[in-house]
């Protein structure tokens, strides 16, 4: 066991440095995304979702750096990554709409002008919708129509359609009741 530590002492020290950097970067990202989310009036569930995406990306980058620390050659890694991405690409081609919804959810986190509680109108020639935003999730919006129907609307479509704000914060939470 001591031979392992003496043989890989330099790599283990670099690994500890990478782990510390990842922890610090995770904290900075976490706080920055929370601040952006709170300043934009985004609910905690969406902030946590984007934080998870950021942490997963950070861990994948750290694993790539670790591979180089322990002596992996770029040509070997390129072979592994090309094989993995080929398999993932074929698998994800069948579920491309899920990926586009997740990507749209991330875009909406930073630039969607409507919040939970706003009443919006989606200008779709086949199925126009006027409803209150109940929740914004990773894959879809939950919209409540005036007749009480719940409509789930995919995130990728909401970015493709014209949307009008009908009423800001239309949800009555009963706070003004006597």
CATH of the domain at 130: 2.30.30.60
What confidence tier does 172 reach under pLDDT thresholds 50, 70, 90?
Answer: low
Residues 9 and 89 in one domain: yes
| Residue range 138-158: mean pLDDT, rounded | 90
Residue at 54 is within a domain: yes
pLDDT(17) > 70 = yes
**Higher per-residue pLDDT: 151 or 45:** 151
pLDDT at 170: 64
Residues 90 and 117 in one domain: no
**Listed residues 47, 67, 94: the one ending a domain:** 94
Cα distance between residue 169 and residue 54, in whole Å: 29
Domain carrying residue 61:
2-94
Residues 80 and 150 in one domain: no
Number of domains in the chain: 2
**Higher per-residue pLDDT: 76 or 135:** 135
Residue at 48 is within a domain: yes
Residue at 175 is within a domain: no
Residue at 99 is within a domain: no
Convert the pLDDT of each residue in 119-128 to its tens digit: 999 998 888 8
| Residue range 39-44: mean pLDDT, rounded | 83
What confidence tier does 44 reach under pLDDT thresholds 50, 70, 90?
Answer: confident
Residues 65 and 121 in one domain: no
**Higher per-residue pLDDT: 90 or 24:** 24
Convert the pLDDT of each residue in 22-36 to its tens digit: 999 999 999 999 998
């Amino acid at each position: 066991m001591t031979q392992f530590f003496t043989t890989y002492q330099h790599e283990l020290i670099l690994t500890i440095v990478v782990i510390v950097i990842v922890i610090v970067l995770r904290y900075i990202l976490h706080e920055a995304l929370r601040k952006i989310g709170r300043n934009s009036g985004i609910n905690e569930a969406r902030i946590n979702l984007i934080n998870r995406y950021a942490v997963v990306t950070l861990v994948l980058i750290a694993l790539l750096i670790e591979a180089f620390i322990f002596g992996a050659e770029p040509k070997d890694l390129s072979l592994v990554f090309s094989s993995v991405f080929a398999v993932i690409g074929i698998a994800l081609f069948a579920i491309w709409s899920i990926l586009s919804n997740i990507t749209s959810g991330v875009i909406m986190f930073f630039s969607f002008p409507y919040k939970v509680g706003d009443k919006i109108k989606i200008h779709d020639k086949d199925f126009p919708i006027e409803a209150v935003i109940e929740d914004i999730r990773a894959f879809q919006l939950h919209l409540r129509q005036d007749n009480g129907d719940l409509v789930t609307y995919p995130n990728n479509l909401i970015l493709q359609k014209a949307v009008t704000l009908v009423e800001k914060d239309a949800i009555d939470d009963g706070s003004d009741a006597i």
